Chains A and B, each alone.
Chain A
Amino acid sequence: MRSLIAALAATTCLFSAAQAATVYPLDRATILAGSPFDLKVEFDTVVKPADVTVTINGEPAAKVLGKDVVFVEKEPGFEASAVLIRAGALPKPGMYTVEAKAGAETRTVNWEVYGTPATAKARNVIFFLGDGLSVAHRTGARLMSKGMHEGKADGRLNMDGIPPAAFIGTSATNAIATDSANTMSAYMTGHKTAVNAIGVYADRTKDAFDDPRVENIAEALRRTTRKSIGIVAPSEIEDATPAAVVAHTRLRSEKAAVVGQMFAVKPDVILGGGSAYFLPKSTPGSKRKDEQDFITMFREAGYTLATDKTELAAAAGTNSGKILGLFHTGNMDTTLDREFLKKGTVSKFPNQPGLVEMTKVALGELSKNPEGFFLMVEGSSIDKMSHPMDWDRALVETIELDQAIGAALDFAKTHPDTLIVVTGDHTHGVAIVGTVDDDKPGTEMREKVGVYADAGFPNYEDKNGDGYPDRIDVSRRLMLFANNFPDYYETFRPKLEGPFEPAVQNEKKQYVANQAYKDVPGAVLREGNLPRSSDTAVHAVDDVVLQVTGPGADGFRGYMEQSDVYRVLMEAMAVGPQAD
């Protein structure tokens, strides 16, 4: 017992007195063997280059990583020094101890470098990412799409047939809470990072492009395989989730740069929104700050361009091998707006394809490659509609994602060497509490919320069998609530005139309830429980459920850090082959 206490005291002392510097990749990093990454040591003070030593397993880091060391005496904005080794690699699997020293400052971190089997289990990987996909979205999509009587669902979603395999911990390196940048980056690089960061560790300097980089999945596949790569996302294609497949930046808002990084990797199929960042700034509608014309650049690189549903169908029939489909200057409209209500921006972009068509075109094109492919399909607007608590749109988006998953399951029937992962990047604080029934007596909508036995069953209908409710504004609807919110007017009704905008900012930069909903019959003001700086409901810290089917699925189990998922994908495709 005495020796244990002594050991604890020694550890504590060591930590407080000496562990001053920061080393990236962080302690407990797991790194694909052979993958290039940047090593950075940030000292807390200005140190002399002669006093600095950085070793890996006792050897000079530069020698082990095969790259030169750069010493920065004072980092921009800091009275402190740093050393950097860019794009080094560790080809041999094993445990590595990194020690950085300069005068009184020392830091020791441990990394695990992993290889993969020499033989791949899966030729193809399809990675479905429901942005913000939480349990309530699945339950709600099932109830809305399939119905229920006597307590049993009247049908099953496609995702209901895919075994849940793991709980995913989504936290960032700098907070338990998390966003779509760092979470997808963890899936797509195997490294956790900070909120808003993609493909890098977040260092202390302001520059959004100098942070220590790690390899992403697209780069790993290009480096080691001849597989094709596809990205499908109805958000802006340079938004955080699709960006994480290809990009490196501390700030996800650097969308113009993300387009350039996407062009550098050249995924074979790119389908989504966000053309504004492809247009030179002189073109009205552009959001670039330079004159680069990525539409022309992609065309000259051999891509067939599609700008609407008709052109996408035509592009699917060409043999260019590369398709760039951009269907909106910004985020594509939600399924509910596109297919049913014709609200949002559908009048401006009337012929947008849906996620199912985009997924099918991508699978058709990518599967021409005998070496196989990696396809990322995002259900982007589940999250984009959950933030403003527009639950009807979020659930219809979930149904559409599920139908795209159905297309992938059909593909896997004829291509059994396909691993299909279905997961979310983070969750929302949302739950279904029952129903709301317009036919209950009175005028107060609150009194029409049915809980426990009073909830009964919702009365959505799907007479045409397309999987979507024929109408969203039926008399007995699902009632969902967020557990966190800004001030807003709860209307207890679907937002038929366009996506919900719960709060707007006032002159004190505080979010207040949007007065546009004040006079909806039965609307009640809910005083927010979030800081007044929060514009909408926020992400939850709760675990994500990961489901998987196909060869390599056995690598997922129990609780996994989001970054651990990458390793299983690498193993399934044998991207870092070592001896079996």
Chain B
Amino acid sequence: MNPHILSRRLVLGGAGIVLSSLFAPVLPCAALATEALDFDELYGSVGVLGLTFSEKVKALSGRQVTMKGYMAPPLKAEADFFVLTEIPMSICPFCSSDADWPDNIVVVYLERAQTFEQANALIEVRGTLEVGSWTDPATGFVSLLRIVGASLATA
């Protein structure tokens, strides 16, 4: 794990302990600070007429999560958002007009713009889960699930 990210996590974790003590002082800090979310856990039902978010996603809305996945080929080499996918993307929907995104993507907004990692490698993203339709004002990209204020590290 990237030591820089590790140290920041510890700071946030400390904040979690302070908050949690108001409600449930016995909870371990990791449980409140972040919860791991898997691609398999995003949706409760999947159908032609739409998807429904899982109970876990609804419960984690607004909270710190970690997710493992692959960085899809980004719009620009240096940008503050990218698409996290379950498997490495062999196509680039930003680049090619005959490619399209899979259904279960998560859009990641980074704390600050940074140069992107090799798309072939599994990464772990940490940040706050946002649930619900939102249109990026700069690009028009519509997303349903986002991790915002995010940082990333090689998983």
Contacts and interface: CB of A to CB of B under 8 A. Distances in A.
A49 to B, nearest CB: 35
A506 interface: yes
A533 B95 CA distance: 9
B101 A287 contact: yes
B90 A535 contact: yes
B103 A285 contact: yes
A405 B8 CA distance: 62
B10 interface: no
Interface size class of B (residues with CB under 8 A): 35 or more
B3 to A, nearest CB: 21
Interface string A493-512: 00000000111111111001
A418 interface: no
A252 B142 contact: no
Interface string A19-38: 00000000000000000000
B135 A507 contact: no
Contact of B48 (A179, A196, A307): A307
A507 B48 contact: no
Contacts of B101: 287
Nearest to A274: B100
Contacts of A345: 103
B98 A275 contact: no
B73 interface: yes
A331 B96 CA distance: 16
A276 B48 CA distance: 8
A329 B103 contact: yes
Interface in A323-361: 326-331, 345, 348-349
A516 B88 contact: yes
Contacts, number: 113
Contact of A282 (B70, B118, B133): B133
Contacts of A509: 73, 77, 95
B155 to A, nearest CB: 14
B99 to A, nearest CB: 8
A388 B90 contact: yes
Nearest to B117: A507
Contact of A307 (B47, B92, B116, B118): B47
Interface in B121-151: 133, 135, 140, 142, 144
B120 A328 contact: no
Q: Is the interface of B mostly helix, strand, loop or mixed?
A: loop
Interface in B38-86: 43, 46-53, 70, 73, 77
B7 interface: no
Nearest to A251: B97
A240 B98 contact: yes
A502 B115 CA distance: 24
B89 A505 contact: yes
Interface in A258-311: 275-276, 279, 281-289, 295, 307-308
B91 interface: yes
Contact of A326 (B48, B88, B117): B48
B119 A349 contact: no
Contacts of A255: 100
A543 interface: no
Contacts of A196: 97
A276 B103 contact: yes
Contact of A275 (B48, B97, B115, B135): B48
Given A282-B133, A506-B120, A330 B103 contact: yes
A40 to B, nearest CB: 22
A504 B117 CA distance: 12
Given A240-B98, A515-B120, A504 B90 contact: yes
Q: Which of A236, A255, A501, A504 has the most CB of B within 10 A?
A: A504
18 contacts: A275-B48, A275-B49, A281-B133, A283-B50, A284-B52, A285-B46, A289-B135, A289-B140, A329-B103, A330-B100, A331-B100, A345-B103, A505-B92, A506-B119, A533-B95, A535-B91, A535-B99, A536-B91
Given A281-B133, A388-B90, A514-B120, 11 more contacts: A283-B49, A283-B50, A284-B52, A284-B133, A285-B144, A308-B48, A328-B48, A501-B87, A503-B90, A506-B119, A507-B118
Closest 6 CB pairs of A and B: A501-B90, A253-B97, A505-B73, A285-B51, A307-B48, A504-B88
Interface of B: 43, 46-53, 70, 73, 77, 87-92, 95-103, 115-120, 133, 135, 140, 142, 144
